[in-house]
Amino acid sequence: MTPDSLIATMVVVGGLGLLFAIAARNTRRQINTTFARRKNLEQSEFLALMYNDCAPEAAEFLWETTKFYLAPRLTPHPDDDLFRDLPIDDEDWSIDWPRDFARQYGFSESDLPEWPKEQPVTIRNYGRWLSTGIR
């Protein structure tokens, strides 16, 4: 490896390290902000709140799926806004989650209607929307 390529490699690795550090800091901030404004729910509390609004399958899917992103500091809450409150990439919940849910429950993700643009993307609303595929 030449000295120039070694320097270039070090700059790239340093830049990637800086990007990861900034992303980790931003994620911690977002989690801390959400944690400060509401209590963490136990799984049974979350499911009880969600069962009033959506299919149990959707509630359970959303608990497991969002918990993966938030644990151990934060647990999901039905009123969390996926776009503003949680450190979850919008491509995950807008593309991956509908596909994963549809596969898990044996329907085509194309059976889901368009997301109502005027509706906030809360976990509760998302559960209602997912439920339309299995009802």
Structure confidence by residue, pLDDT tens digits, 74-122: 999 999 999 888 888 889 999 999 999 999 999 999 999 999 989 999 9
pLDDT tens digits for range 31-82: 777 778 898 999 999 999 999 999 999 999 999 999 998 888 899 999 999 9
Torsion over CA: 51, 121, 130, 35 (sign): negative
Residue 57 to residues 60, 64, 76, 99, 108: CA-CA distances in angstroms? 5, 11, 16, 14, 16
pLDDT number for residue 97: 96
Query: What is the pLDDT of the chain when averaged over all its residues?
Result: 87
